[in-house]
Chain A
Amino acid sequence: MISAAGLTKVYGGKTALDHADFAVRPGVVTGFLGPNGAGKSTAMRLILGLDRATSGSVTVNGRAYRDLPAPLREVGALLEAKAWHGGRSAYDHLRFLARTNGIPKSRVGEVLDIVGLSDVSGKRAKGYSLGMGQRLGIAAALLGDPGTLMFDEPVNGLDPEGILWIRRLMQSLAAEGRTVFVSSHLMSEMAVTAGHLIVIGRGRILADTSMNDFIAANATSHVRVRSPERQALGRVIAGQDWRAAATDDGSILVYGVTPADVGDLLHQAGLRVHELASVQPSLEEAFMRLTADSIEFHGGG
């Protein structure tokens, strides 16, 4: 259980996190969704006490992270960037971590098995691939068998097999009753992994709700229609009191209507129809609608 109250971080005059209130509960994968630079990593660093909050507070199991006597036994974190020394082997990296938190040495072998690094655990980590490094970070997070786990952009650098693996891992950890908090800017990934969502944009918490409620509240199903007589199509649709948007490929999206409404209208107008489809709302659409004005940098990836 992670609770933040009024959590704020200002870096040299720039507000990275702005009075964030949220709670991450056990038993479900909570997705932390937001564009790059929205404040996800900042929030996670504040939870771990790596950065000092400008104001507000955040606790894990009711206590500030720095007050946990054996923090790795309560919280495991996979941080965004590489967080190990390349000159040390995976085994030695985990061994020293275990030692600092009074975790038995036998656990090191167990987590190496879980993440599939046993064969290379004696080799120096600088030779590891991106995916292997990610697995080492996950092994470190699992080391203390903690009740709370945080993963910052965990699928970065993983191959499809690895992505599937970590998705299942997170879901099974949540199913065991643990608190699982995972950040991502990839909506497709979030949509299949998370059951609960905390959405962040420009340092502000925009939503803290279940995945289904979030989509239902922020996106509506719509109808996509395409006709070879483009201008006439546009005129006819515009003549109605509908909310509609033209797309780059020449089709028109009409919101809050059924395909029957649109089909009947075009039949009366005598227009030829090449496509008429009902589109279900997606997380992506809901997210885009919600964060349309809170994305700091457009384009560029």
Chain B
Amino acid sequence: MTFARAVAGEWIKVWTVRSTLWSMLATVVVTVGLSSLLALAYTLSYDRLGIRARLAFDPVAYGLAGLNFGVITLGVLGVLVVSTEYSSGLMRTSLSAVPRRSKLLAAKAVVLAVIALVVGLISSFLAFFASQAIFGMRRLGAGIGDPEVLRAVTGGGLYLMLIALISLGAGAIVRHTAGAITSVLGVLFVAPIFGVFLPEDWGRTVQKFLPPAAGSAILTTRETPITLPPWQGFGVFAGYTALVLLIAFALFRRRDV
């Protein structure tokens, strides 16, 4: 009962600042736009590719590659949902209204998850259809009814939802907008570079388990040596998200505001 009120309050809160709508629009534009551009680049250079590259081609994963950039926009939204409450002083008011700490943070997570999932699904489906239309010019495209495809495209939405949630956790842990965004982007974009420099087999295994590779495994429809199987990878990334949220809740409950 009172949790429903807390969620309703957060729902009003999230829609009454401009950053929410801008982040959502930016997510759709960036993911669909970049997926289309990458598809176009691939299609135009198809003739120059070797046979092995052509055989390894996964039109679905390639067509959804732009989703990885949604990490930035939805990550920022996830961070802002918490961090701006600290920077503005609103957190004191919010906690006066909903003094149970876990209830407040959980309400934020629920609202953010719904918004990120809807935006993620819209982005993923639009990116899929746009990119496959472009691949279709060379008859390279996949159909939504092909095996594994619906899972990959739906998974794209789920992946972006987890990105938003892990960012919310980072925002609650770091409590500063810039610091939290830096740590999210650092882990998701810079950590993979680390894996590249580790020696051969070992490095390859580590890389599979690093957050971005594990999370985006859900976007693939073909087995590749550089990613985990789709649901396994997704499970690993969900584990990271759960861990970050667990730490965030523990700190949020204990800290003074």
Contact = CB atoms under 8 A, between A and B. Distances in A.
Interface of A: 45, 48-52, 65-66, 68-72, 75, 77, 79, 81-89, 92-93, 95-97, 99-102, 140
Interface residues of B, number: 28
B54 interface: no
B45 interface: no
B186 interface: no
Nearest to B87: A85
B21 to A, nearest CB: 12
Contact of B12 (A49, A71, A83, A96): A96
Contact of A97 (B9, B85, B89): B9
Contacts of A101: 5, 97
B16 A88 contact: yes
9 contacts: A45-B256, A48-B92, A79-B92, A81-B92, A84-B88, A89-B16, A95-B12, A100-B98, A101-B5
Q: Which of B6, B10, B17, B93 has the most CB of A within 10 A?
A: B93
Given A49-B99, A69-B2, A83-B90, 17 more contacts: A45-B92, A45-B257, A49-B95, A52-B256, A65-B99, A66-B99, A72-B96, A83-B89, A83-B92, A85-B17, A87-B17, A87-B19, A89-B16, A97-B9, A97-B93, A100-B5, A100-B97
A50 B88 contact: no
A87 B17 CA distance: 6
B206 to A, nearest CB: 39
Interface string B216-257: 000000000000000000000000000000000000001011
A48 B96 CA distance: 6
B9 A100 contact: yes
Contacts of A65: 99
A97 B88 CA distance: 16
B84 interface: yes
A50 B16 contact: no
Contacts of B97: 71-72, 97, 100-101
Contact of B88 (A86, A89, A140): A86
B5 A85 contact: no
Interface string B69-107: 000000000000000110011101101111110000000
Nearest to A143: B97
A89 to B, nearest CB: 7
A90 B125 CA distance: 38
Contacts of A70: 2
B257 A51 contact: yes
Interface in B1-59: 2, 5-6, 8-10, 12-13, 16-19
Contacts of B6: 100
Contacts of B90: 83-85
Q: Which of A48, A81, A82, A100 has the most CB of B within 10 A?
A: A100
A50 B18 contact: no
A297 B38 CA distance: 64
Contacts of A75: 96
Nearest to A69: B2
A50 B257 CA distance: 5
Nearest to A9: B256
Nearest to A82: B89
B9 A96 contact: yes
B12 A50 contact: no
